[in-house]
Amino acid sequence: MEVVGAVSAAVPVATLLADKVMAYLRDKGESGAGAKENVDRLKSWLSEFQAFLKEKEKQEKNLVSKDLVDRIWRLTADIEDALDDFMFDVPIDHSHTTRLRQTLHELGHNIKDIRPNNQLSSRKQKIEKTINSRKLIDRLHSEATGLELPDS
């Protein structure tokens, strides 16, 4: 199914962006700890999406709900947008000529980065609410294995 292939191509792009954000946060050390947890969670969902889509691409009959693929597409776009906005608000590439300037700059970023960190957390929670309300991850596992979900 072409739709699965198109969505499957979008997930690695978002994952690459998440990796870039994580590299930045690792360099920041402890000051980016909360954001690291959020990005880790977003990456884990992207991994779940990618695994499901790869499994569906392998299957001959490739019978997958268009609604499910559409939800994965929208959530992947939401994750990518959240990471993109975070990186826009927290510029990465800076260089300073003295250690004092670098230290002052980092201190300033620690204060300025509070808002983008909070926004990333808020968007992650919104995505998580969507995933949980629709039992999306359980549904991915169910469709990938061919087992039916029990009625709740």
pTM for this predicted structure: 0.75
pLDDT tier, 54 (very low <50, low <70, confident <90, very high otherwise) = confident
Q: Is 147 a residue whose pLDDT tops 60? A: no
Q: What percent of the chain has pLDDT over 70?
A: 72
Higher per-residue pLDDT: 139 or 3:
139
Domain ranges of the chain: 2-145
pLDDT mean over 76-80: 94
pLDDT tier, 62 (very low <50, low <70, confident <90, very high otherwise) = low
CB 124 within 8 A of CB 42: yes
Torsion of CA 140, 16, 27, 129, to 10 degrees: -30
Higher per-residue pLDDT: 78 or 111:
78
Higher per-residue pLDDT: 54 or 18:
18
**Greatest mean pLDDT range, 13-17, 114-118, 137-141:** 13-17
Within 8 A by CB and 6+ apart from 11, the residues are 46, 49, 50, 53, 72, 76
**What is the DSSP secondary-structure string of 83-140?**
HHHHHHHS------SSHHHHHHHHHHHHHHTHHHHHHHHHHHHHHHHHHHHTTHHHHH
Predicted pLDDT at 99: 72
pLDDT in tens, 82-131: 999 988 877 665 565 677 766 666 666 666 677 888 899 999 999 999 98
For 120-141, give one letter per residue: b (16+ CB within 10 A) or e.
bbebbeebeeebeeeebeebbe
